[in-house]
Chain A
Amino acid sequence: MSRIRKAFENKKAFIAFVTGGDPDIETTAELIPVMAEAGADLIEIGIPFSDPVAEGSVIRQASERALKNGCTVEKLFDMVSKVRRLTDVPLLFMTYLNPVYVYGKEKFLNHCRQCGIDGIIVPDMPFEEKDELSGLCEDNGIDLISMIAPTSDERIYRIAKEAKGFLYCVSSLGVTGIRSKITTDMGQMIRRVREVTDIPCAVGFGISTPEQAAGLAQISDGVIVGSAIVKLIGEHGRGCIAPVTGYIRRMAEAIKG
């Protein structure tokens, strides 16, 4: 069983996101093992991109900080190799397609495998275009994570049938960012997935409070939190370790009950 699938075994999974290299690469390297220890079951590392069209302002600003401080794909690979020796937590890259394409798709996925990345999420590569990477992901044993959104409707069946690792269920229209209320009927979305597959379903976009997380964990297999963590990193800079681990602990507790 893959590390990703194991993270969902007999429990609700808490998936935590950080932007790689924000505020610097050393802080990200320090954060990942302690986040795992504090209760993050999977960790998504965002590869900073100049024009992240699916992100709200919090993650956008984190991307800008990371790029300004010299973060590159190569430095992230190095960092992940080192972190991999310290923790077994499943690691995913969240990246826009262009940095992968320009780096060289084959080389990118090769390096992912070598440094111990378990999966990748590519928000601007929909089902129709996934051939860009799906074969290479398979060759390298990397799960290409698919997304479904409130607008997916009938598309859910096609996407879910071919999904790998877990299914990323987008809770809200628009971009990433903290929302006071999730209005999409996530129960219904996940029931539709269940008609065709038993792949774990994790809900993301807009979740920040333990109450929201606990509620969504009841109807899904896992909860993804990004902007709320990145916001803490933005506020505390290099001093973010303690506030982030504290927050992870509270959220993990809420999700796992």
Chain B
Amino acid sequence: MREGRFGEYGGQYMPETLMKAVHELSEAYERYRDDADFQKELDDLLNKYAGRPSLLYYAEKMTRDLGGARIYLKREDLNHTGSHKINNVLGQILLAKRMGKKRAIAETGAGQHGVATATVAALMGMECKIFMGQEDMERQALNVFRMELLGATVQPVTSGTRTLKDAVNEALREWSERVEDTFYVLGSVMGPHPYPTMVRDFQKIIGKEIKEQLMRAEGKLPDAVIACVGGGSNAIGAFYEFIEDRSVRLIGCEAAGLGIDTPKNAATITNGTVGIFHGMKSYFCQDQYGQIAPVYSISAGLDYPGIGPEHAYLNDTGRAEYVAITDDEAVNAFEYLSRTEGIIPAIESAHAVAYAMKLAPAMEKDQVIVINLSGRGDKDVAAIARYKGVVIHEQDTKSI
């Protein structure tokens, strides 16, 4: 397999202006990935700052209620900043520091990656600018304010569909303007090589911990690992350790939005075709002329028309399965987990919960499902209220 390729997928399809930066990043990553000092610093931050290892929680009530496989939740939502995104950001910003970069930029959809980047940039004393689609800024106003509290500038993106895809476009444009002093902290396993490999390596700790923790709890491998997929970083992080363990089903849950038969979805593997965009060859939602399609999901984090190249490869080889979950199913799962286990999941992660709710009853009671709970749902409470037609007002009282 060629470097940076997963079968035919991946590659480095970037404008010439950025190629030197892409190669410098690649070289720096190769140099530090096995460097003992770098790894120690990263491990320290993961353990003492981000709160790793994250819990593997046995969801007893959910298991009993669904009446099938035993269900575990990998609690990435308990990480500092509330999602798995911090794993990758700590790695990339440490790398940025070693490369002498003073400034970090990032795209964000739901705001989770933006918050994680703003957080670590604050910790490391780096200037930080986050690109966010204007529509997403409205959907995730709380996260916008969080990023600003952390000292980042949030740049609204008003081009195109004003969502995650357009935020990536703008971040790439900014990077090509400020390539000398700026490090692009890409949030998912996408973009040009080395990002898909590097981000996966920074996220694979999720699956590694799952394996150890489940071995202690159950003395066996899981029968299925389920994760939501937008670009696919939490999913590849959960899957990677198990790729060689053929008995473990790996299931990625895409956003079906209003339904895969409607134009309002973001189900890239289900509905997409192979194309070349955002630096990589992979599957994309697009029309017959190769124009990237406007996609939709209730979840800003899954609202992306592409998928990481390694997922495209895992799909083609049949090693992983990809299913589509609608807005309705995700919202139902969001409420279900909140009431059943007292855990409010991110609406992204709720897509994985929704599929587990379908799968578990059909499995044997001695089988085990692990759901990667990639993020917490505090950020989604207002959006879910809106979805349900509930009006929430926080009283603006001047006197205390």
Interface set of A (CB-CB < 8 Å, partner B): 49-51, 53-54, 56, 60, 67, 72-73, 97-103, 123-129, 132, 147-153, 155, 159, 170, 173-175
**Would B15 and A99 count as touching, CB distance under 8 A?**
no
Residue from the list B12, B21, B173, B274 in contact with A175, Cβ < 8 A: B173
**Would B12 and A173 count as touching, CB distance under 8 A?**
no
**Would A51 and B286 count as touching, CB distance under 8 A?**
no
**Would B16 and A102 count as touching, CB distance under 8 A?**
no
**Would B177 and A101 count as touching, CB distance under 8 A?**
no
Residue from the list B14, B15, B21, B275 in contact with A102, Cβ < 8 A: B275
A126-B12 CB under 8 A given contacts A102-B275, A151-B19, A151-B21: yes
Task: Find chain A residues with CB under 8 A from B160 CB.
Answer: 50-51
A103 to B21, CA, bound (A): 30
Interface check B240, CB cutoff 8 A:
no
**Would B15 and A54 count as touching, CB distance under 8 A?**
yes
**Would B13 and A155 count as touching, CB distance under 8 A?**
no
Task: Find chain B residues with CB under 8 A from A150 CB.
Answer: 17
Q: Taking each of A60, A73, A125, A127, which has the highest tally of chain B beta carbons within 10 Å of its own beta carbon? A: A125
Q: Output the nearest chain B residue to A49 by Cβ-Cβ distance.
A: B291
24 pairs, CB–CB < 8 Å, chain A vs chain B: A49-B290, A51-B292, A54-B17, A73-B289, A99-B289, A101-B290, A102-B275, A102-B290, A123-B15, A124-B14, A124-B15, A128-B12, A128-B19, A129-B11, A129-B13, A147-B15, A148-B16, A151-B16, A151-B20, A155-B16, A155-B19, A173-B178, A173-B180, A175-B177
Q: Output the nearest chain A residue to B172 by Cβ-Cβ distance.
A: A53
List 11 additional contacts besides A53-B15, A149-B16, A151-B18; criterion CB under 8 Å.
A51-B169, A53-B278, A60-B159, A98-B277, A100-B290, A101-B275, A124-B14, A128-B12, A152-B16, A153-B20, A170-B16
Interface check B155, CB cutoff 8 A:
no
B375: shortest Cβ distance to chain A, in Å? 26
B223: shortest Cβ distance to chain A, in Å? 38
A60 to B173, CA, bound (A): 12
A125 to B19, CA, bound (A): 10
Task: Find chain B residues with CB under 8 A from A60 CB.
Answer: 159
B159: shortest Cβ distance to chain A, in Å? 7
Interface check B179, CB cutoff 8 A:
yes
Q: Taking each of B17, B159, B178, B180, which has the highest tally of chain A beta carbons within 10 Å of its own beta carbon? A: B17
**Would A102 and B176 count as touching, CB distance under 8 A?**
no
A103-B179 CB under 8 A given contacts A126-B15, A150-B17, A175-B173: no
A56 to B274, CA, bound (A): 27
A12: shortest Cβ distance to chain B, in Å? 23
Interface check B150, CB cutoff 8 A:
no
**Would B13 and A125 count as touching, CB distance under 8 A?**
yes
Task: Find chain B residues with CB under 8 A from A73 CB.
Answer: 289
**Would B177 and A98 count as touching, CB distance under 8 A?**
no
Q: Output the nearest chain B residue to A175 by Cβ-Cβ distance.
A: B173
Residue from the list B16, B173, B273, B286 in contact with A53, Cβ < 8 A: B173
A54 to B19, CA, bound (A): 13
A151 to B182, CA, bound (A): 14
A125: shortest Cβ distance to chain B, in Å? 6
Interface check B262, CB cutoff 8 A:
no
A102-B292 CB under 8 A given contacts A151-B17, A152-B16, A175-B177: no
